[in-house]
Structure 1
Amino acid sequence: MIYRFNNEDSSNGFKVNAADQKAYSGGDFKGITGKLDYISEMGFTAIWLTPVFDKEEKGYHEYWINDFYEREEHFGTIEVLGGSLA
């Protein structure tokens, strides 16, 4: 789950509430790409991300999608992952 894994870009860390299990906790795309070596060192050759799309507020599992053409604003830009949603 992106929003729980690792936060490397504090600029998108608005509405963070670590005390609320259903609220955004700070992880982002830079947090994922910044830990790829760490993930690889554990022996993993692939990762499966939860959806990156705009989701309902407090849609903690990230599967309550609002718009499949927009990324979740808390995660940063999709270009950080090397792609686009189009």
Structure 2
Amino acid sequence: INFINFEVAIKEKYGIDLRGWPEGVPFQSPHAITSAEHLRTLRDALKAGTCHWAYMSRQQRLEYQDRLKEWRSAGEVVGKPRKKRSDMGRKRRR
């Protein structure tokens, strides 16, 4: 899952949200979490069902898309832009 661009890649595109992420646990890939305590907290929340995936309703999705438009128009960068190709602007062999 693309945790770095979650707002755009998952939430906006598919209308799926991750609800109930534990307080104090950084929102990043579980693979990147280095604290054993944070991992246990996340695991317990997932097992208990307090942290779960949920489809956004049509109204929630529209409101979220409007919020993203506001952020973008304010000049905020939503998500991490992809790196440009190292051979950009050069002819490629076929």
Pairwise TM-score range, normalised by the shorter structure: under 0.3
What TM-score do the two structures reach when normalised by structure 2? 0.22
Q: Kindly indicate which of the two structures has a greater share of residues assigned to helix.
A: 2
